[in-house]
């Protein structure tokens, strides 16, 4: 006895939408290193180097990344990676971001943190990615022990 399955148009569309909208696992974005520049009148330049890993089999197009940087539990400020990049399936990329620390609004203890050779760096924020014609915001949080260079 053979069974014949009939799927109506609405059932087929529902099935295709479930398959086509498979969720994206958040890429991982780890602080690899920090470089603190010489203080200027306007502030202290900081370059943040990140390693970004894609846990998905499909390629992602990252339009931009926004993040908060926290060192040894103290929020340093907000930054972004404005230049987009491609992230291959199961691949990784290295990206850089620069921002200025305002000398007048530095939280207490930041100057002391910047004198250390190593810090616990936490980054949290959002990826803005495109995949299969749609744009999504994907949150992330990561923590790493990193070298602080001057």
- The full set of domains in the chain, from first to last, is 24-149 (2.60.40.1820)
**Given this model, what pLDDT does residue 142 score?**
94
Q: State the sign of the Cα–Cα–Cα–Cα dihedral 38, 39, 41, 43.
A: positive
| HSE-up of residue 138 (Cα within 13 Å, Cβ side) | 22
* 43 Ramachandran zone, left/alpha/beta (phi>0; psi -120 to 50): left
**Given this model, what pLDDT does residue 22 score?**
65
CA–CA distance, 109 with 136 (Å, rounded to integer): 36
Q: What percent of the chain has pLDDT over 70?
A: 84
Cβ neighbours for 17, distance < 8 A, ≥ 6 positions apart: none
Look up the pTM and report it: 0.80
Average pLDDT over the chain, rounded to an integer: 85
- At 109, list the tokens: 């203890």
- Give me the count of residues in the chain: 150
**Given this model, what pLDDT does residue 88 score?**
96
pLDDT tens readout for residues 9-62 = 444 343 343 344 568 899 999 999 999 999 888 788 999 999 999 999 999 999
């Amino acid at each position: 006895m053979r069974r014949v399955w009939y799927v109506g148009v609405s059932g087929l569309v529902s099935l295709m939408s479930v398959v086509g909208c498979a969720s994206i696992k958040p890429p991982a974005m780890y602080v690899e290193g920090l470089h603190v520049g010489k203080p200027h009148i306007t502030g202290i330049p900081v370059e943040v180097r990140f390693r970004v890993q894609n846990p998905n089999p499909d390629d992602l197009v990252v339009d931009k990344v926004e993040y908060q940087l926290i060192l040894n539990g103290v929020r340093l400020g907000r930054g972004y990676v404005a230049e987009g990049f491609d992230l291959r399936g199961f691949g990784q990329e290295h990206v850089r971001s620069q921002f200025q620390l305002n000398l007048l609004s530095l939280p207490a203890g930041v100057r002391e943190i910047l004198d250390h050779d190593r810090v616990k760096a936490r980054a949290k924020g959002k990826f803005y990615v495109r995949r299969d014609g749609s744009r999504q915001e994907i949150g992330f949080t990561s923590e790493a022990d990193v070298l602080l260079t001057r």
